[in-house]
Amino acid sequence: MAHVVASKYCLHQPLYRQSQVYGFAGLELERSLLAQWVRASDRLLSPLVLAVRRHVLGGGHLHVDDTPLPVLDPRRGRTRAGYLWTYVRDERTWGSTQPPAVWFEYSPGRGGEHPRRHLQGYQGVVHVDAYAGFNELFGLFSHRERKARAGPARLKRSLCFAHATRKLYEMHLALRSPIAAQAVERIDVLYAIEREIRGLDPEARLRERQARSVPLLQELHTWLTMQLARLPASSTLAKAIRYTVKPRHWPALTYFCSVGRADMYNNAAERSLRDVALGRRSYLFAGSDAGGERAASMYTLIGSCKLTGIDPEAYLRHVFERIADHPINRIDELLPWNVRLPSPTEAVREVALRHPHARRSSRCRLRRQISGRTSANCWTKPAATSASDECHRSKAPPSP
């Protein structure tokens, strides 16, 4: 089961392809049987997924993003859009010892009600892009909606500076614009500062940003505003600059300079979606909403294993061997950062100790193939010769 789940969600091998691989090895495992194993694995691992969720939402900083996941719609004979939302807790950039983890959640749509439901009761800083569906999380309602959805903002928004940089860089590649090139160079200096202070404590990061990054950001905003006034309002370069300097975006883009624990970019969330993007190219779509929810659960555990730096398949095997008899009130002991998995050398040694005859039997098979023996046990001593055999052997004429 661990191999099937890891192959599907970590190595991006659909179940029909795994069934073919097992068939080549002489094992007839139908795709329906493998699908039953995946469903059973999802039910078995659900307490662990909830434990990861509690850990992710227990911090004060989140990296959030979403990606489409096509879902089969049999009634219309085509797929419809589902979405996977990723919530990453990764505090290593400011020297925290809390283990990193990622929690995925599936939804049949992309409306703002889904992240609002996922983060219900959460308070802290959320690193996001400028997608309008996140606005109601931060109390950013239009004048028409403000009366219907009144209430204090529970979350602080930190916009990803990489999105603003990407828009300017695309203009530089497409138009060879010197304005876009200079803007990217100015932002690169800010990235260099972030690389230097990565891993420092929050107070040291805040001091460095206040002393070095804030003046550069003020100069960048002034310079971009001047360039925007010289460009046609409908040009693509003006739209890219306007994304950065608009009053609703700039305070959130520069929020990292007011809190040492905040990050300048949302790369942690984007990295967590790589497995989903690679798997989507292999299995193309999920069979149902339930399949999307199972994918979210498996990506949660596999993504957390990768952030922790352990082998996802070895971790799943470790959990499957123990979770049935493990007390539910101690489920945190089976989280990826709390288990100790043997190294590859230790794993081989453990298998050898469990099966002391495995290595000997493999040598036996090799010797039988070479010598053409068909005996069941190649270590059987030859039968003792009788006295008559010795007599006939002594009377035999010498070889020429």
Confidence of residue 344 (pLDDT cuts 50, 70, 90): low
d(CA 217, CA 26): 64
pLDDT, tens digit (0-9, with 9 covering 90-100), for 104-119: 999 999 999 999 999 9
Cβ-count burial of 106 within 10 angstroms (0-12 exposed, 13-18 middle, 19+ buried)? buried
Tokens of 198: 């990565």
How are strands ordered across the β-sheet holding 61-73? 101-107, 78-89, 61-73, 124-128, 155-159
**What is the average pLDDT across 8-36?**
94
Please report, for the chain, the start and end positions of each structural domain, with discontinuous segments joined by +: 45-160+266-314+324-363, 177-250
Residue 77 has what pLDDT? 85
DSSP label of 93: G
In the predicted model, is pLDDT for residue 322 greater than 70? yes
Chain mean position to CA 143: 38
339 close to 304: Cβ distance less than 8 angstroms: no
Band of residue 194 on the pLDDT scale cut at 50, 70, 90 = very high
Contacts of 227-235 with CB under 8 Å at 24 or more apart are 227/179, 227/183, 231/179
Q: Is a pLDDT exceeding 90 seen at residue 189?
A: yes
Report residue 137's pLDDT band, with 50, 70 and 90 as the boundaries. confident
pLDDT tops 70 at residue 381: no
Mean residue pLDDT across the chain:
86
Evaluate if residue 81 carries a pLDDT over 50. yes
Q: Are 83 and 114 in contact (CB under 8 A)?
A: yes
The predicted model scores a pTM of 0.84
Which region among 71-75, 211-215, 260-264, 293-297 has the lowest average model confidence (pLDDT)? 71-75
SS3 10: coil
Give the span between the Cα atoms of 56 and 233, in whole angstroms.
Answer: 42
pLDDT confidence bin for 343, thresholds 50/70/90: confident
pLDDT the model gives residue 284: 86
- What pLDDT is attached to residue 253? 95
d(CA 57, CA 322): 26
Residue 155: predicted pLDDT: 87
- The contacts of residue 166 (CB under 8 Å, 6+ apart) are none
pLDDT at 74: 86
pLDDT at 193 > cutoff 50? yes
Amino acid at site 340? R
Q: What is the pLDDT of residue 361?
A: 54
Q: What is the pLDDT of residues 256-280, one digit of tens each?
A: 999 999 999 999 999 999 999 999 9
Q: pLDDT tens, 35-59?
A: 999 999 999 999 999 999 999 999 9
Q: Pairing state of beta strands 124-128 and 61-73? A: parallel
pLDDT band at 357 (very low <50, low <70, confident <90, very high): low
On the question of pLDDT at 220 being above 60, the answer is yes
Quote the CA–CA distance of 278 and 12 in Å, as a whole number. Answer: 7
